[in-house]
Amino acid sequence: MKILITGSNGLLGQKLVALLAQQAEVEVVATSRGTNKLARLYPAVRFVPLDVTDAVRVQEVVRAERPTHLLHTAAMTNVDECELNQAACWAQNVTAVAHLVAACEQHQVHLLHLSTDFIFSGETGPLTEEAEPGPVNFYGESKLAAEGLVRQCRAPWAILRTVLVYGVAHEYGRTNLVVWVRDSLRAGKPIQVVSDQLRTPTLAEDLAQGCWLAARNQATGIYHLSGAELLTPYQMALAVAAYFGLDASLISRVDASTFSQPARRPLRTGFIIEKAGRELGYRPHSFAAGIALVARQAEPAG
């Protein structure tokens, strides 16, 4: 089994490299834009530079590597940036997928594509795989369009949707809710956290495990991979404060209208993950266990 990962420098990509490098039966090919952030940590893992928006380069790499599976994690995921720069969002989230679908069809590679709860309207939740999409921002529109391309792929495919991924990665510029809350409260800084959005937050290690289970089981179709607990960001922040023994009175409960963000957020999403549990054996950590894992990875700080 040979698995090519796109976006290997990202949070999920790094977790996948770490997990798949441990599997004796898997040959891993890591690809990303820029230099390999994991070169020192995983020197045995082959790295190939790849910009997935370059159709010619996508064909070259897939033809040369001939993977059995392609795990597509690369995407433009900053929701507000997608709203403000829609051409770049479409190129990275949709056009790139068209290139990958074409290459996978030509070489009969099993395509596993990462998608998001933001394809949904947020009117109801948690959601099964059969729920009707209805995005409320451009990021969601781009990811739904990408799903449409994957569904038409004439090679085996799976769409793996997820929710609010959190974790710690090597040389990764973006923070996450757990570390942000911890560091803010340690510094005695008051923070505002929304209480009118519901999600099933997903530990990055759990999502990587779900992707590996889907590849190993030759899964096809759509799967929801997230945490199991439906929580508001405010509830998550309180859990972080409790874990670290920090002052929860610094956390103010607000609603989404408090923040002027370019992109709307769906209010209520979250996933029902029974199908992934039943068919793949997917068993995510609790949010409390996820906090503990992130805490170990993110120390020392403050």
**For 223-280, where are the alpha helices, taking DSSP H only?**
233-244, 274-280
| pLDDT given for residue 300 in this prediction | 57
**What pLDDT is attached to residue 299?**
77
Instruction: Supply 69's token pair.
Output: 């599976």
d(CA 8, CA 114): 13
Task: Evaluate if residue 302 carries a pLDDT over 60.
Answer: no
pTM: 0.97
Which position has the token pair 């998608």?
115
Q: How far apart are CA 217 and CA 45, in angstroms?
A: 23
| Residue 172 pLDDT grade (very low, low, confident, very high; cuts 50, 70, 90) | confident
From the centroid of its chain, how far is CA 270?
14
Tokens 């597509």 belong to which residue?
72
Per-residue DSSP letter, 19: H
| Alpha helix ranges (H) inside 177-269 | 177-186, 204-216, 233-244
Chain-centroid distance of CA 216 in Å reads: 19
Task: Give per-residue pLDDT as tens, 53-88.
Answer: 999 999 999 999 999 999 999 999 999 999 999 999
Average pLDDT, the chain: 96
Which pLDDT does position 274 carry in this prediction? 98
* Run of H or E including 27: strand 27-32
- Structure-block tokens of residue 289: 């266990």
Contact of 112 with 211, CB cutoff 8 Å: yes
For the CA atoms of 197, 201, 204, 207, the dihedral, rounded to the nearest 10 degrees, stands at -110
**pLDDT at position 23:** 97
Mean pLDDT of 18-28: 97
What CATH class does 2-167+201-227+271-285 carry?
alpha beta
Q: Where are the domains of the chain?
A: 2-167+201-227+271-285
For 225-238, what is each residue's pLDDT tens digit? 999 999 999 999 99
What is the mean predicted confidence (pLDDT) over 89-100?
98
Mean pLDDT within 246-269 = 95
With vertex at residue 230, the alpha carbon angle to CA 202 and CA 158, rounded to the nearest 5 degrees, is 45
Rounded Cα–Cα distance for residues 40 and 64 (Å): 24
pLDDT confidence tier of residue 239, bands split at 50, 70 and 90 = very high
Q: For residue range 205-220, list pLDDT tens digits in order.
A: 999 999 999 999 999 9
Average pLDDT, stretch 38-52? 97
pLDDT range class, residue 298, cuts 50, 70, 90: confident
Tell whether the model's pLDDT for residue 176 goes beyond 90. no
| DSSP-derived 3-state class of residue 281 | coil
